Amino acid sequence: MTVDNPPGTARPAAGRPPGAGPVPAHTGSRATRLLGIASLVGMVALVVFGLWLSPPDTQLGETIRILYMHVPTVSAAYLAFVITAVASVAYLWKRTEFWDLLAASSAEIGVLFFGLTIFNGMLWGKITWGVFWRWEPRLTTTAVLLLTYLGYLAVRQIPSDRRTRGTVSAVIGIMAVVNIPITHKAVDWWRGLHQEKTIFGTVDPDMRGLQLFSAYLGLVVFLLLFAWLLIHRFRVAWLAERVGDADLDVAIAERRAEGAQVGGGTPS
């Protein structure tokens, strides 16, 4: 019984005793190691530039430093949900495991980044407004969409056969992404009645020099991190499916052996 490697990783080490069970190879490859190192180094650079080298903003003051993380996390999350939707469409069309697992992995990381976005948005709120939560349009939209995608992940947790799970979650992945602009519009109009300082929007920080550099650096670093996490998450999901297959094979083989024993009429 062998475990197929996820696409893009090295073959498992030879010489593993046969029947040792599904011991998956690691999910790393040369490309992902480079990606991982690049995002770690970039993260350190972002901390240095964001917290020390760049000057505070004239309007936002020191809180502008939260933007260097806030904008990248929310951008990566939206990218993740678009990937989920595209992969969902591709799954309904091609019906291959690749697209199903890609959609699921991307949604999971999108939820993680959305959670981070709400967290650093709340930190910004505590400093700026004195409270963690106000019904600021962007934060409100993010919270609603986070719950939408928690529903998506909950569906993936329900034990069901792969085709049902794939179809149902693909439909949700498509519906949810279409809802993003509608939710944005509704929340914007709703809160437009009481305009106030928002994280980005009404207050448009006039970024220059090192501030602008830090903002773009943050974007690049978090996109690298996102790609790195996504590839690994996808490979883990792929291996988990293979382990499921292997367990099924073992169970079938055992039942067959039992049947043969009973059928053979071994004397007791």
Partner 1 sequence: MIRGAALMAGKDLRLEWRSKVGISQVLPFAVLVVLLFAFALDPDRGVLERATSGLFWVVVLFSAVLTVQRSFAVEAEDGVLDALRLTGLSPAAVYLGKVAALVVQLLVLEAVLALAVAVFYDTTFRGWPLVVGVTFAATLGIAGAGAVYGALAARLRSGNTLLPLLLLPLLAPVLISATRGFEVGFGREAGPGWPWAALLGIFAVVYLTLGAALFRPLLEDT
* Site residues (vs partner 1, CB under 8 A): 92, 144-145, 147-148, 150-151, 154-155, 158-160, 163-164, 167-168, 170-172, 174-176, 178-179, 182-183, 185-187, 189-190, 193
Helix (H) or strand (E) holding 109: helix 97-128
Tokens linked to 129: 């407004």
Give the residue with the Cβ less far from partner 1, 1 or 147: 147
Nearest distance from residue 110's CB to partner 1, in Å?
14
Give the contacts of 208 (CB within 8 A, at least 6 positions apart).
none
Helix (H) or strand (E) holding 47: helix 30-48
Nearest distance from residue 4's CB to partner 1, in Å?
25
Nearest distance from residue 171's CB to partner 1, in Å?
5
Nearest distance from residue 183's CB to partner 1, in Å?
5
Give the residue with the Cβ less far from partner 1, 75 or 167: 167
Burial of 232 per CB tally in 10 Å (0-12, 13-18, 19+): buried
Nearest distance from residue 192's CB to partner 1, in Å?
10
Give the residue with the Cβ less far from partner 1, 4 or 188: 188
Residue 199's closest CA among 72, 60, 73, 61? 60
Give the residue with the Cβ less far from partner 1, 133 or 213: 133
The distance in angstroms from the start CA to the end CA of the chain is: 32
Beta bridge partners of 57: 61
Question: Cβ(211)–Cβ(54) under 8 Å?
Answer: yes
Transcribe 126-165 into DSSP letters. HHHTSSS----HHHHHHHHHHHHHHHHHHHHHS---HHHH
Give the residue with the Cβ less far from partner 1, 46 or 174: 174
Give the residue with the Cβ less far from partner 1, 81 or 226: 81
Nearest distance from residue 96's CB to partner 1, in Å?
14
